[in-house]
A and B are shown apart, each in its own frame.
Chain A
Amino acid sequence: MSVLLDHLPEFWEGLVVTLQLTAASFAGAAVLGLVVTSMRVSPVAVLRGIGTAYVETFQNLPLLVLLVLAVFGLPEIGIKADLLVTAVVVIAVYEAAYIAEALRSGVNAVSAGQGEAARALGLTFGQSLRHVVLPQALRTVIQPLGNVFIALTMNTSLAAAVGVVDLTAAANRVNLIEAQPIPIFVGAGLAYALVAACVGLVTGRLERRLVTAG
């Protein structure tokens, strides 16, 4: 255990980067996911097509492939950003596909009559989505979104492969010196588990509150 305490600053720095990656890419993925869901349920066929293509593309490509392509491929065509920024954007774009699917299942759970009633009252498609359908849809998908959030947290560890010094990379570096993989990676694993447990706790509370409020 002393190996963890001796290298606490390195682990802490890694954890901070992991939390930054997680928070920034989830925020991006949530916004993007919402846009994609709106496209997928929109009355315009072209938008539905684009939304479907987006989800199918990014759900069917491994995240590591996307990361390597973005980090090494984009500079070849003149697009080069900081490694952390690149990783955040790629993870956000990838996870948006999963968030969009979770949101769509929520939208489908709202009975069609709700949308029709909103339309009958004279609301536009955007208004009916914003005021009637999405608020009800979100309530049903809090737990699935929490799962996406946890998966995203775990997926941030892939950024270690493209030069971002997150918790996984920090653990690797400490192990390089100390050669005690079991305590080191158990420690890093516990930190990930702790983050995931916090997310689970928050989504559980949110769900209970919003369901009773409805």
Chain B
Amino acid sequence: MVVSMKRVAAVAAVSMIGLSACSGTGSGSPAVPGETGGAAEGAGVLAKAPVAAAADILPGSTMEKIKQRGELIVGGSLDAPLLSQQNPVTGEVEGFDADMGKALATYIIGEPKVKIVNSASETREALLSNGTVDVVFQTYTITPERAEQVAFAGPYYSSGLTIAVKKGTTGIAKPEDLNGKTVIAGANTPAIPAIKKLAPQAEIVTFGSDPECIQALKQDRGVAYVQDETLLIADAQKDPAVEVVGSPFTTDPYGIGLKHGDDQFKKFVNDWLKKTQSAGVWQGIWKNSIGTVVQGEAPAPPQIGSVPGS
């Protein structure tokens, strides 16, 4: 959802390299939200992750190729807090999407060996169809249009868009209230079509990353910021100048992007997803990431194959 523009990501990556070079191997305090559980806890959940029986890895299949390679190549983000963010201290990519990728790698290879290729919403379909990545875990909302280009396993998580405003703002409670106003959204996020649909008279300004959007909101570039609820809750916790209004007004089922037409692999991934959920690993991964800012127990995972396009 916070798929930043590649250029911005490159700048961020460079500054991360600088940071990690400075900090060395010192044990810093958690620099990333969602990291409070620590790597040990994350590894604890993954240790329980199911591993596929040898008979499930069919000869000549995509999963066999991955197993022989010894590494799962995942298209994902490096800058999405709680979902898939590179920890500048350890260099590890952490979050819900990142750990789901590691769990899938464990299922196929037996070890959480993952290589994350930083993808963006303008490159995901191409990366899958030309085989650069095996799977995409990147808040990839399942839509019928996208399902013509790629295959979706899952949905593996369901989220929704909500509205954040500067604290003290009045008159904005629901998406229709955004009509005639300037609204901030993350570039390349489903917020843009959602706002266009529910508040056609709103003017949308987009910025590459979530911190930029928050900064723009605080500098009055727009009266409201529409983004995934999870991210906004995390933002509002970090920054008292921002508050979340109302409850989510969309349902975005996230799917695991796979190469179009690879039905064998899709069934395999769906089977894995079912096993991960019944083993409690899905719930554990949720607790370690999104659960660090959202109160309560892990929600019930969405029904696999329940969405048009999945």
Contacts and interface: CB of A to CB of B under 8 A. Distances in A.
A71 B143 CA distance: 34
Contact of B146 (A68, A72, A163, A179): A179
A176 B8 contact: no
B208 A161 contact: yes
Contacts, number: 70
Interface in B169-210: 187-190, 192-193, 204-208
B212 A72 contact: yes
Interface in A173-188: 173, 175-182, 185
A203 interface: no
B188 A64 contact: no
Given A64-B7, A176-B188, A163 B205 contact: yes
A186 B150 CA distance: 20
Nearest to A177: B193
Interface residues of B, number: 33
B135 to A, nearest CB: 16
A23 to B, nearest CB: 22
B215 interface: yes
A83 B205 contact: yes
Nearest to A65: B11
B11 A64 contact: yes
Interface residues of A, number: 27
A75 to B, nearest CB: 4
A80 interface: yes
Contact of B122 (A83, A163, A181): A181
B189 to A, nearest CB: 8
Interface of B: 5, 7-8, 11, 121-126, 143, 145-146, 148-150, 187-190, 192-193, 204-208, 212, 215-216, 219-221
Given A163-B207, A175-B121, A185-B122, 9 more contacts: A68-B8, A71-B216, A80-B219, A83-B221, A165-B205, A169-B187, A172-B121, A178-B145, A179-B125
21 contacts: A64-B7, A72-B219, A75-B219, A80-B220, A158-B7, A160-B187, A161-B5, A163-B206, A172-B122, A172-B188, A173-B206, A176-B121, A176-B190, A176-B192, A176-B193, A179-B124, A179-B125, A180-B149, A181-B125, A181-B126, A182-B126
